[in-house]
Structure 1
């Protein structure tokens, strides 16, 4: 039986001689077949599989990204909702029931007030403070005829309105808001003080009916010209610092003015104030003023702040017998003889001269020389000397 099987296979192999090499493959044949098998596997492992893996990873990343965006969108919506709730919860943090209905003063300072509350219950209200809140406008809730003082400092008010009922108002503070125009004040005939500091006002106007005004403060705005204030004949204090004013003008009728404060403008001279004989304080620092000789009629001056200008000489000051403080630091005084012009001002007690040329040349003996020139002085710069 075994022999017959062998004969069968030999017969097949003889007939199909082309397959004879399968009986015992040569080593070269094995190498060729191995190469043909290994190379494709290697190419697949290096190129094909990473690409497939990368595509799969992209798909997974895209899915994750979609999920993340969906979660972020949900979170954003939740945050917006929470913020809206926070706004409602963290605004108007006050309770008017805490005030007696007969109170003359209601102080809602820093209470995050975003709308004027109903104050009609306070029949005797005279002073209302709404400082540092979130008011963007003024409503008719302010129609409180008994008010004499209204403080709206540091809000977000853009337009002055709804004040016509405040016929007894004497003090109005609208500083640090977003006001661009002075208006809505025509009914405030008894107003004595108005503060409009740090707004966006470009022109003085709207003060026609404020004939009783004593204090006008409009510093830190965008005003270029002094105008429409000549009728304010009761004005005692005028504050116009940090604007763009180039000269003093239209001040002739303000004969009761005692304080004129105009620092950080664009003044180069002091003409236009000769009629202001009642001045006791003059603040003109941080400009380009070269001389103080125009101060011939201001004999009542007690304070002059002319720091950081271009002053070289001290002429025109010898008649100021009531002068107590003079600020001349950061100027261009280079001659010690200029100080001798102030030696007869017996009321002079304080003088600032630091960072002038006379200070820079010899700082070690600077104070001693000032004391020799001005023996009546008790304070030099920020330091007492006697």
Structure 2
């Protein structure tokens, strides 16, 4: 039996006996609106009335054998009633009775005397163990969705939002999540002046209002509502991301004229038939635009978006792409599932790296009208009418992924792709040459032989990437192990000698430093030295005709000096 990841724990009515037959009843009372912890489940499983312990069989008291032996009635009924009251008191303290009654009525749960049934029309998303003591119903965890008290009857409660965000001040909240809360009207958000991310998606909102106080808002999620007009966003000058997909918009109108910092706009899956230039004139910083799944017939209005990097316009009713040459920063373009016959307006886009044109009416001549796209790496031309591939190597010099599924391509045209040096993935399924008996069983290998650099054909890996072989590690012999130990011991000895030498050197330097510090700064002049100097000079001058420059006189002076001072 699988264990649920997130559940609601319900209390249990004790086992009762009718005519000697055990009747188990579950009373659906939510105790914890969070993931059931092991402590709660183990405590409630181990809690048994003392009067329900197994007892010896007797003719007066009937016993039931099974997974849990209990005694039915008699003197223990009073203790059994006390346990029931304690359980009900515990469940009532963990929740509000009014909210729980409303939630139980909404779930469609019904409790009878001897049976517990769940409404079959409601998907509980979990499992029910009829033999266990606790009933689990799987539901979303409280950490991934707003609490039930945050929104009551479609109304936003600011105080409950504070509790949910675990904050004490409104200005401390920067992110509000009200996804799928059955909100019908935007209100009570004026106090949250510092909020930057607001999620009101998947509700029942019909009008954008009461957001003028949230001037710091940068991301607004309103997808999955019933909005038919964009308005009341003039004060949101810091807005960068706006998601309005899956609504009822028929035009953009003037509601986004002040959104000068908008970078990402999603209006896909609406009812847009036309977008005028004045409606998007303020989008000087827009980089991502999604207008898929609408009823647009022309894309020339987007030529004024100089900062546009990603444009998604699939599932419209486009027939031609006239001019997008001013979108110099465009990197990804998706125009699949239209009725395109001409795409000459995409010529000369220097940074275009990904282009999706599947499920259109394009021919080989229309593809040649693209010109040379030097940065194109991924091209999807599946489900078209292409028959020639001779110009692909020159048009798309760095193409890596090419999808040509379900076209009119023959094998001789596939050979032209051998000039595409960087081509690694190729999709050729449902083309005429594959249906022939010659190529159907082994066309993957044939394509690999033709295009040497190809790695994958129709999802099948045909070239294994080469990896450097791991050098073979031979086991170490006993002799080599012994020599390694000797080298290690020698290294340790050398290291110890070096440490000892360094220590001796430091001690000698310290002794030298101490000696130098004790010496006087200047040399002292003694009386004996002065007398010696004068005596030597006197002796030298007393000898007539003697010269101090001769060696004999110098020797005599030295002897006289030694006789005087070194007796």
What is the TM-score of this pair, normalised by structure 2?
0.51
Stretch moving more, 314-323 or 187-196: 314-323
5 Å-filtered alignment, 1:1-386, equals 91=154, 95-97=160-162, 98-99=164-165, 100=167, 101=170, 102-141=172-211, 143-183=213-253, 184-205=255-276, 206-291=279-364, 292-319=367-394, 320-334=396-410, 336-362=411-437, 363-386=440-463
Aligned residue number for residue 62 of structure 2: none
Q: In 2 relative to 1, CA 165–337 (structure 1 residues): closer, same or farther, beyond 3 Å? A: same
Secondary structure at the counterpart of residue 282 of structure 1: strand
Contact 1:270 1:294 in 2 (8 A): yes
1:311-362 per-position Cα deviation (integer Å, ceiling 9, x unaligned): 001132113232111111011112x121222213222111111001122223
Contact 1:180 1:202 in 2 (8 A): yes
| CA distance in 2: counterparts of 1:108 and 1:359, whole angstroms | 53
| CA distance in 2: counterparts of 1:240 and 1:146, whole angstroms | 30
Contact 2:193 2:215 in 1 (8 A): no
1:259-288 per-position Cα deviation (integer Å, ceiling 9, x unaligned): 111111111132121131221111110011
Q: In 2 relative to 1, CA 165–338 (structure 1 residues): closer, same or farther, beyond 3 Å? A: same
Contact 1:204 1:227 in 2 (8 A): no
| CA distance in 2: counterparts of 1:171 and 1:325, whole angstroms | 31
Unaligned runs of 5+ in 2: 1-104, 107-150, 464-567
Contact 1:296 1:316 in 2 (8 A): no
Aligned residue number for residue 30 of structure 1: none
Give how far 1:248 is off. Answer: 0.7
Q: Which has the higher contact order (CA 8 A, sep 6+)?
A: 1
Runs of 4+ deviating beyond 3 Å: 88-95
Contact 1:110 1:130 in 2 (8 A): yes
| CA distance in 2: counterparts of 1:176 and 1:211, whole angstroms | 25
Q: In 2 relative to 1, CA 244–121 (structure 1 residues): closer, same or farther, beyond 3 Å? A: same
| CA distance in 1: counterparts of 2:189 and 2:324, whole angstroms | 40
Secondary structure at the counterpart of residue 235 of structure 1: coil
Q: In 2 relative to 1, CA 316–213 (structure 1 residues): closer, same or farther, beyond 3 Å? A: same
Contact 1:187 1:209 in 2 (8 A): yes
Give how far 1:133 is off. Answer: 1.4
| Superposition RMSD in Å | 2.0
Q: Which has the larger radius of gyration?
A: 2
Q: In 2 relative to 1, CA 337–92 (structure 1 residues): closer, same or farther, beyond 3 Å? A: farther
Give how far 1:142 is off. Answer: 5.2
Contact 1:358 1:366 in 2 (8 A): no
Stretch moving more, 128-137 or 374-383: 374-383
Secondary structure at the counterpart of residue 172 of structure 1: strand
1:207-266 per-position Cα deviation (integer Å, ceiling 9, x unaligned): 111121111110110011123222211111111111111111231211211111111111
